[in-house]
A and B are shown apart, each in its own frame.
Chain A
Amino acid sequence: MLSLENIHTHYGKIEALHGVSVEVNEGEIVSLIGANGAGKTTLLMTICGDPQASAGRVLFQGEDITHKPTSDIMRSGIAIAPEGRRVFPGLTVEENLHMGGFFTSKDEIRRNQKHVFELFPRLAERKNQRAGTMSGGEQQMLAIGRALMAKPRMMILDEPSLGLAPLIIGQIFDIIRTLRDEGITVFLVEQNAKQALKLADRGYVLETGRIRLEDTGANLLDNEEVQQAYLGG
């Protein structure tokens, strides 16, 4: 469904990705793990077209989107819950959700919002609260909910567990599984390697801009290198 072929990405003269290839098949949860500064966010941003890859190709549903403008890419069935949540702090929960459905019809907004509220009852309770005043966990739910409002076929999540308590992380990961069961393909970027690999059908390990390992989630969990580097030995 999504494939990155030998992607190189530069920030000015600095090369952050040195030829990364990743494949996400329809209906899968694919996890990408890596340390701080490995280039995980850069990889996701390259998919979104900002910055664009300086070499290599990004294909989504067979179409080359490498050089498409970000606004087109984000309207073509990919949605992202960005790193650091980035909810609109001054808007209410409901308005945040409506922004997520900016390019859909009112009927769809209503339907999708109902669905999001079923997934996250917490958001329904707080729909008139300003997003900036919500807790980190609630904001993460909102970021995911907002991304879902566009009815994406593929969902990208950048470190959804960042700074959250284990209980909330568990809830968020349950939701991710539910999304996959509903037919949404998930590309998950995490530092929380254990949980992310447990959840994943397949996984990648990114190290300083290169894919180091690639296997099923279960195999990576057992892998010695992974255990040493990411699972605390």
Chain B
Amino acid sequence: MVARNFGHALFCAMITLIISYPIVGFDLVFTGLSLELQQVEAGTIAGILLAVAAVFVFQLFRPAIMGTLARLVGLNPLANRPPMEQNKRLKLERGALTIIVLLALIWPFMASRGAVDLATLVLIYVILALGLNVVVGLAGLLDLGYVAFYAVGAYTFGLLSQYLGVSFWVALPLGALLAALFGFVLGFPVLRLRGDYLAIVTLGFGEIIRIVLNNLTSITGGPNGIGGIPDPTLFGMEFGRRVKEEGNASFHEVFNLPYESVHKVIFLYLITLVLAVFTLVVIRRLIRMPVGRSWEALREDEIAARSLGLSRTAVKLSAFTIGAFFAGFAGTIFASKQGFISPESFVFLESAIILAIVVLGGMGSQIGVILAAIAVTILPELAREFSEYRMLIFGAAMVMMMVWRPQGLLPMRRIHVQLNRLE
């Protein structure tokens, strides 16, 4: 068997060498005015050779290695268990979600400011991923331009606050609705397309939105972005040291507390948490309603779904619009959290990350998506020294997932809608 793999292993090792040597093995150095190609030091060359050797050995013994790894997975007592009964599972899932939310509620009062700030970002990604999960995971529409709706939400708030002095609470629904409107209007021409075509067109759309924002300098400030976006208020109370807007009170004065900047961070976190829970609950509801079932039917077999009288456009548009709505939500919160937005924040990479969260989480499963959002946002922060390699680690993690757990962390177990429970 090893002999049979020899040729293949040699080939893989060669490829590794061909790819890595020109990229890592040379340095471009300026000598005077000319660029010169220089060999790098021996250590790096040794590193490359080591990598080549590693690839060779791995490929040579690949069946054995993979076999051992598969056995390791088998050792996990939770794997290969027969699926739980539906009612039990639903109860367990609901219990787990409740506990997560409760923990998330009390946790910030014990954590550091930076941690709470990061957690807010995580929650924003949770909202985004739950929204995209509707489009990609449930309805099966590959949307690579999801970030566009996020941008619409953020810029709605940014522009409204800049030109009309609109507050967070007014902008929140407006941002979400406007994003939904964009989703609806843009969905129309796009949704006749299937699979790859849809992916490419949505990708283009995402870029168009970003480029428009970048070039409408007179309105959006172009690459300079929009600053001074206000924080949310609590019943007219502001969280800053001094009240910025007339008629507002100041939180720490009303409650007679010493001013602490962390109040604001915690407050924003709690708002985001509430909105994330709202998103979760609404989407869970939708999944069980006829509209949710029609998404699934269309994903499973478009022709069959249409033969039953479902309108392709209506079903796809509903998924697209609802997904966009929650992206708009997240965008408004993001704008408020950062206080400053620019097209930089809405590049394709963002779409890719959100999509990665959905795929990692298991395409359709909500808890999986939440866990993946946490992992994908927090891990790079924990490994700050590796931040340069963030994308590399990310890519490696994706590849490994696809090899060992192609169905995602927690693949969706579909909920059987029972007739008596429908009533």
Residue of B nearest to A113 (CB): B419
Residue of B nearest to A75 (CB): B309
**Is the CB–CB distance between B304 and A86 below 8 Å?**
yes
**Is the CB–CB distance between A88 and B304 below 8 Å?**
yes
In the bound complex, CA of A206 to CA of B304 (Å): 25
**Is the CB–CB distance between B306 and A146 below 8 Å?**
no
In the bound complex, CA of A109 to CA of B308 (Å): 14
**Is the CB–CB distance between B417 and A102 below 8 Å?**
no
CB distance from B423 to the nearest CB of A (A): 6
Contact residues, B263-300 vs A (CB, 8 A): 290, 293-294, 296-297, 300
> Hey, what's the 0/1 contact readout for A84-125 against B, CB within 8 Å counting as 1?
001111111011001110110010011001000000000000
CB distance from B296 to the nearest CB of A (A): 7
Residue of B nearest to A71 (CB): B311
In the bound complex, CA of A110 to CA of B168 (Å): 48
Q: B414 an interface residue at 8 Å Cβ cutoff? A: yes
**Is the CB–CB distance between A95 and B309 below 8 Å?**
no
CB contact between B417 and one of A70, A71, A88, A98 (< 8 Å): that residue: A98
Contact residues, A67-82 vs B (CB, 8 A): 69-72, 74-75, 79-80, 82
> Hey, what's the 0/1 contact readout for A196-224 against B, CB within 8 Å counting as 1?
00000000000000000000000000000
Q: A86-B303, A106-B422 are in contact. Are A100 and B416 (CB under 8 A)?
A: no
In the bound complex, CA of A42 to CA of B416 (Å): 35
* A residues in contact with B307, CB < 8 Å: 48, 74, 79-80, 82, 86, 147
> Hey, what's the 0/1 contact readout for A46-79 against B, CB within 8 Å counting as 1?
0010100000000000000000011110110001
In the bound complex, CA of A86 to CA of B298 (Å): 12
Q: B209 an interface residue at 8 Å Cβ cutoff? A: no
Q: A74-B306, A150-B309 are in contact. Are A88 and B294 (CB under 8 A)?
A: no
Q: A178 an interface residue at 8 Å Cβ cutoff? A: no
Q: A227 an interface residue at 8 Å Cβ cutoff? A: no
* A residues in contact with B290, CB < 8 Å: 102
In the bound complex, CA of A79 to CA of B306 (Å): 11
* A residues in contact with B297, CB < 8 Å: 88, 91, 99, 102
Q: B310 an interface residue at 8 Å Cβ cutoff? A: yes
Q: A128 an interface residue at 8 Å Cβ cutoff? A: yes
In the bound complex, CA of A146 to CA of B294 (Å): 15
**Is the CB–CB distance between B416 and A128 below 8 Å?**
yes
Q: B301 an interface residue at 8 Å Cβ cutoff? A: yes
Q: A98-B417, A98-B419 are in contact. Are A90 and B300 (CB under 8 A)?
A: yes
* B residues in contact with A87, CB < 8 Å: 301, 304
**Is the CB–CB distance between B419 and A95 below 8 Å?**
no
Q: Which of the listed residues A86, A87, A99, A128 has the most CB atoms from chain B within 10 Å of its own CB?
A: A99
CB distance from A146 to the nearest CB of B (A): 7
> Hey, what's the 0/1 contact readout for B396-423 against A, CB within 8 Å counting as 1?
0000000000000000001011010011
In the bound complex, CA of A156 to CA of B422 (Å): 30
**Is the CB–CB distance between B419 and A88 below 8 Å?**
no
**Is the CB–CB distance between B304 and A69 below 8 Å?**
no
Residue of A nearest to B423 (CB): A106
> Hey, what's the 0/1 contact readout for B218-231 against A, CB within 8 Å counting as 1?
00000000000000
In the bound complex, CA of A106 to CA of B290 (Å): 12
**Is the CB–CB distance between A89 and B416 below 8 Å?**
no
Q: A86-B301, A88-B300, A88-B301 are in contact. Are A99 and B308 (CB under 8 A)?
A: yes
Q: Which of the listed residues B304, B310, B419 has the most CB atoms from chain A within 10 Å of its own CB?
A: B304
* A residues in contact with B300, CB < 8 Å: 88-91
Q: A99-B297, A102-B310 are in contact. Are A82 and B304 (CB under 8 A)?
A: yes
CB distance from A195 to the nearest CB of B (A): 24
In the bound complex, CA of A94 to CA of B304 (Å): 16
* A residues in contact with B312, CB < 8 Å: 71
CB contact between A82 and one of B303, B414, B422, B423 (< 8 Å): that residue: B303
**Is the CB–CB distance between B296 and A91 below 8 Å?**
yes
Q: A86-B301, A86-B303, A89-B300 are in contact. Are A95 and B416 (CB under 8 A)?
A: yes
**Is the CB–CB distance between A102 and B303 below 8 Å?**
no
* A residues in contact with B311, CB < 8 Å: 69-71
* B residues in contact with A94, CB < 8 Å: 416
* B residues in contact with A69, CB < 8 Å: 311
Q: A91-B414, A94-B416, A128-B416 are in contact. Are A100 and B308 (CB under 8 A)?
A: yes
> Hey, what's the 0/1 contact readout for B302-324 against A, CB within 8 Å counting as 1?
01111111111010000000000
CB distance from A63 to the nearest CB of B (A): 16
Residue of A nearest to B304 (CB): A86
Q: A90-B414, A106-B422 are in contact. Are A150 and B308 (CB under 8 A)?
A: yes
* A residues in contact with B414, CB < 8 Å: 90-91
* B residues in contact with A113, CB < 8 Å: 419
**Is the CB–CB distance between A74 and B296 below 8 Å?**
no
**Is the CB–CB distance between A102 and B308 below 8 Å?**
yes
Taking A92-B416, A102-B290, A102-B309 as given, write out 4 further A-B residue pairs in contact, using a Cβ cutoff of 8 Å, ordered by the A residue number.
A79-B308, A86-B304, A91-B296, A95-B417
Interface residues of B (CB under 8 A from A): 290, 293-294, 296-297, 300-301, 303-312, 314, 414, 416-417, 419, 422-423
- List, sorted by A's number, 22 A–B pairs whose CB atoms are closer than 8 Å: A48-B307, A71-B312, A72-B309, A74-B309, A79-B308, A82-B307, A86-B307, A87-B301, A88-B297, A88-B301, A89-B301, A90-B414, A95-B293, A98-B419, A102-B290, A102-B297, A102-B309, A106-B419, A109-B419, A128-B416, A150-B308, A150-B309
